[in-house]
């Protein structure tokens, strides 16, 4: 059964390292986040991004290792997320739970998510199945 969870998140630290030799700006960023709401926990994100010479054109791919609780469930899981932004089409992206990469109560977790605009900022929204 699919369940929708919503969680506010805050980036609590960020370390960006630029890469050289590209026509755009390629960077590797590591950052930590906290989640509150249906998901309570923390995460570490490894992100590779490219900013092109064209204004409002960029792309990224990331893996996020999340540790936390959803209701009575507790454990870790990994989300792969990516986004593409172009001047003509705006921003598009996807968040997918990496199958079999979790542990504890999230060992069988699957799902897809996105970032949506909430009343107080961006919200992580995940439609997930715990495999029960």
81-125 per-position pLDDT tens digit: 999 998 888 778 889 999 999 999 999 999 999 888 778 778 889
23-68 per-position pLDDT tens digit: 668 889 999 999 999 999 999 999 999 988 888 899 999 999 999 9
pLDDT of residue 114: 86
β partners of residue 28: 17, 48
**Lookup: tokens for 132:** 């029960």
Residue 22 has pLDDT above 70, yes or no: no
Q: How many CB atoms lie within 10 A of CB 15?
A: 9
Rg over alpha carbons for the chain, rounded to the nearest Å, is: 16
Domains and CATH numbers, the chain: 2-129 (2.40.350.10)
């Amino acid at each position: 059964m699919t369940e929708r969870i919503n969680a506010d998140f805050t980036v609590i630290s960020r370390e960006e390292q630029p890469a050289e030799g590209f026509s755009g700006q390629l960077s590797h960023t590591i950052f930590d986040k906290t989640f509150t709401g249906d998901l309570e926990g923390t995460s570490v994100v490894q992100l590779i991004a490219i900013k092109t010479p064209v204004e409002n054109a960029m792309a990224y791919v990331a893996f996020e290792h999340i540790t936390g609780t959803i209701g009575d469930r507790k454990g870790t899981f990994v989300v792969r997320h990516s986004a593409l932004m172009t001047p003509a089409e705006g921003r598009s992206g996807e968040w997918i739970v990496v199958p079999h990469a979790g542990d504890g109560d999230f060992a069988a977790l699957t799902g897809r998510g996105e970032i949506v605009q909430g009343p107080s900022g961006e919200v992580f929204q995940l439609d997930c199945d715990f495999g029960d």
